[in-house]
Structure 1
């Protein structure tokens, strides 16, 4: 990306530009003329949005070339051009965990918005996109044609380790590795595992769906009591794992804020009728968890889990957690 922002300079932007009065008028007009919603005006003007408007309001940027990765696009920095899209920006804000304010429109009718951390986003017919971690970075990326980051859910899957003879024991031990990884990467600290058994016949009836609390103490010592509790639950409910999918899910505790709440790990076995012994470890992340700081943590989890699976394949030994690791209740 060019260091001096050719498209910005050509549009009469310069470091320190400040159109305070015009920017405030535009922000007030955006809020006042917005489509009415219950509770009054929908738009909230936060500091990052005001800073962006003061620096960039009124600019009309042209493409700085054909485009490096994708077609370059110009844009108009006028918030009223995107004021009608409150619901769409509200939904994006719920996904990324921060409010947004409209900033303008691209030449291809994409809508630009800035969030409370100062990142620049675009909504268009192709989806939802992060253009840059700052407004200036995003505008340069847009006008120079750098590929934006799509805001969409992600899922990774690996063949789960099976160093033990019994499928439930394998699943529990692998799930506990996921508990450790999610806690170590500061995504969330799980307090329980969800045990689900779903038949493979017909519409796939759930014969068991229960939460099982993690025991106190080290994760290393939790596998045996967890397996015993889950076996007791299956016996009490008459849930038979044969001919069914057995899944153990590690999900965020109740009250976890977005986007961390959208992240989960799961271990399932028996999901393939042709390969009933096949086991799968997966990591899922909602759209909001694949941008910014949450994305760094989620990507780290994916790398850790992939490393765990590779190590299992090399040595047929289950990697252990640090001896002091325990559920942080």
Structure 2
């Protein structure tokens, strides 16, 4: 048994613990005492929170030593102690696509919450943190001082391959189509279009084409590159501008019906942005904070690995 597990047992936890009505009354009190917030957000009970509170409510966990990675921290499991943190946990829930319910408070005054997947989270002045994939795992990690996982947005950038003798726009579209395949293969989302933005490098810097969508044709993505490039070239001509002397940005957006956190993922390719190398193609992948936990995190990291194999190491 680890030191954290011993601390949990010393606090009164045991396999099969169920405080039943006591936990339910505490949850009801937390809901009714929470102050309303702008937008009408409110605490909502769900099965994972009910199970977690029935098992752990009322425990006062002590630190299990000085800490392995960070300082070991105790906590109290009582949803009333975290009821005031509705706003930050509501924002976190919107990012992750999973509701949260107040769970307790650490000795360092950080409110705790459990989400619909049964994961334990904390918020403090330093950010938002996932403590564990389960409540028990999170409580043990807290007591032992194991480093939590920061819930934060992340991005990567690569120098994408460019084929000599073809237009920079075609090279950009080809790189974007690689991203389309990777995002689909990793089950992030299946893109339905590419969006084009054209910004002249001279003048006021305002886009002359701002996110115009070009639908992806059916069939092979490899065969789609030239017709998509032709459609974008027509858009550029119709706007009365030229691809020369302009930054061309091709974006792979999530479809409109995508849900958080995968909807926060976007791949972007740009070319013409560097005067010294106008044909260079830059590929980037960005994911919102919600995609830094759970299955979405696994999928996004897989995409980053795939794009590294395609384009080489990401730049700092």
Please give the TM-score of this superposition, normalised by the length of structure 2. Answer: 0.94
Give matches, 1:293-308, under 5 Å.
293-308=295-310
Pair 295,7 (structure 1): closer, same or farther in 2 beyond 3 Å: same
User: Residues 7 and 61 of structure 2 are in contact (CA less than 8 Å); yes or no, is this contact kept in structure 1?
Assistant: yes
SS in 1 for 2:17: coil
Counterpart for residue 229 of structure 2: 227
Counterpart for residue 196 of structure 1: 197
User: Residues 186 and 299 of structure 2 are in contact (CA less than 8 Å); yes or no, is this contact kept in structure 1?
Assistant: yes
> Is 2:290 the partner of 1:291?
no
SS in 2 for 1:69: coil
Structure 1: runs of 5 or more not aligned: 312-329
Q: C-alpha separation between the residues in 2 aligned to 1:142 and 1:155?
A: 28
**Deviation of 1:201 (Å):** 3.9
User: Residues 164 and 170 of structure 1 are in contact (CA less than 8 Å); yes or no, is this contact kept in structure 2?
Assistant: no
SS in 2 for 1:66: coil
Which one is further off, 296-305 or 232-241? 232-241
User: Residues 283 and 302 of structure 1 are in contact (CA less than 8 Å); yes or no, is this contact kept in structure 2?
Assistant: yes
User: Residues 122 and 128 of structure 1 are in contact (CA less than 8 Å); yes or no, is this contact kept in structure 2?
Assistant: yes
Pair 194,66 (structure 1): closer, same or farther in 2 beyond 3 Å: same
Give matches, 1:35-74, under 5 Å.
35-36=35-36, 42-74=42-74
User: Residues 151 and 290 of structure 1 are in contact (CA less than 8 Å); yes or no, is this contact kept in structure 2?
Assistant: yes
**Deviation of 1:242 (Å):** 2.5
RMSD (Å), alpha carbons:
1.8
User: Residues 100 and 116 of structure 2 are in contact (CA less than 8 Å); yes or no, is this contact kept in structure 1?
Assistant: yes
Q: C-alpha separation between the residues in 2 aligned to 1:245 and 1:173?
A: 16
Pair 41,282 (structure 1): closer, same or farther in 2 beyond 3 Å: closer
Pair 222,38 (structure 1): closer, same or farther in 2 beyond 3 Å: closer
Q: C-alpha separation between the residues in 2 aligned to 1:88 and 1:8?
A: 27
> Is 2:172 the partner of 1:171?
yes
Q: C-alpha separation between the residues in 1 aligned to 2:161 and 2:184?
A: 20
Counterpart for residue 267 of structure 2: 265
Q: C-alpha separation between the residues in 1 aligned to 2:151 and 2:202?
A: 36
Q: C-alpha separation between the residues in 2 aligned to 1:164 and 1:272?
A: 17
Deviations 1:253-291 (A, max 9, x none): 111111111001111112223332322111110110111
User: Residues 63 and 144 of structure 1 are in contact (CA less than 8 Å); yes or no, is this contact kept in structure 2?
Assistant: yes
**Deviation of 1:37 (Å):** 5.0
Q: C-alpha separation between the residues in 2 aligned to 1:105 and 1:97?
A: 23
SS in 2 for 1:162: coil
**Deviation of 1:29 (Å):** 0.8
User: Residues 32 and 41 of structure 1 are in contact (CA less than 8 Å); yes or no, is this contact kept in structure 2?
Assistant: no
Count of aligned pairs between the two proteins:
311
Deviations 1:6-51 (A, max 9, x none): 2201212111111112101101111111113589882111111011
Q: C-alpha separation between the residues in 1 aligned to 2:93 and 2:144?
A: 26
SS in 1 for 2:142: helix
Counterpart for residue 77 of structure 1: 77
SS in 1 for 2:30: helix
Give matches, 1:142-161, under 5 Å.
142-161=142-161
Give matches, 1:48-127, under 5 Å.
48-127=48-127
User: Residues 191 and 253 of structure 1 are in contact (CA less than 8 Å); yes or no, is this contact kept in structure 2?
Assistant: yes
**Deviation of 1:164 (Å):** 3.7
User: Residues 34 and 41 of structure 1 are in contact (CA less than 8 Å); yes or no, is this contact kept in structure 2?
Assistant: no
Counterpart for residue 207 of structure 1: 208
User: Residues 119 and 133 of structure 1 are in contact (CA less than 8 Å); yes or no, is this contact kept in structure 2?
Assistant: yes
Structure 2: runs of 5 or more not aligned: none
Q: C-alpha separation between the residues in 1 aligned to 2:147 and 2:2?
A: 14
